[in-house]
Amino acid sequence: MEFKFTPEQDVFREEVRSFLKQELPEGWGSRPGSLSEENHEFGQEFLKRLAPKKWIAPAWPQEYGGLGLGLWEQVVFNEEMSYQRAPLLNFAATGYLGPTIMMYGTDEQKAEHLPGITSNHVQWCQGYSEPESGSDLASLQTKAVQDGDDFVINGQKIWTSQAHYADWMFLLARTDPDAPKHKGISYFLIDMKSPGISVRPLINMAGEDGFNEVFFENVRVPRSGLLGELNRGWYIATTTLDFERSSSSGYPTSLRTLEELTKFTKETKSNGKHLIQEPLVRRQIADLWVDLNILRFLSYRVVSLQSQKLVPNYEASIVKVFNSELGQKLAMAGLHMLGLYGQLEPESKYARLFGQFGRSYVTSVGLTIAAGTSEIQRSIIATRGLGLPRG
- Catalytic residue, chosen from 73, 79, 213, 244, is 244
What is d(CA 169, CA 53) in angstroms, rounded to the nearest whole number?
26
Separation in Å, CA 221 to CA 168, 254, 365 = 12, 40, 35
Told to judge if 278 belongs to the known catalytic residues of this protein, a careful annotator would answer: no
CA Rg value for the chain: 22
Query: What secondary structure, in 3-state letters, does the chain show?
Result: CCCCCCHHHHHHHHHHHHHHHHHCCCCHHHCCCCCCHHHHHHHHHHHHHHHHHCCCCCCCCHHHCCCCCCHHHHHHHHHHHHHCCCCCCCHHHHHHHHHHHHHHCCHHHHHHHHHHHHCCCCCEEEECCECCECCCHHHCCCEEEEECCEEEEEEEECCCCCCCCCCEEEEEEECCCCCCCCCCEEEEEEECCCCCEEEEEECCCCCCCCEEEEEEEEEEEEHHHEECCCCEHHHHHHHHHHHHHCCCCHHHHHHHHHHHHHHHHHHCEECCEEHHHCHHHHHHHHHHHHHHHHHHHHHHHHHHHHHCCCCCCHHHHHHHHHHHHHHHHHHHHHHHHHHHHHHCCCCCCCCHHHHHHHHHHHHHHHHHCCCCCHHHHHHHHHHHHCCCCCC
Catalytic residue numbers, as ranges: 244
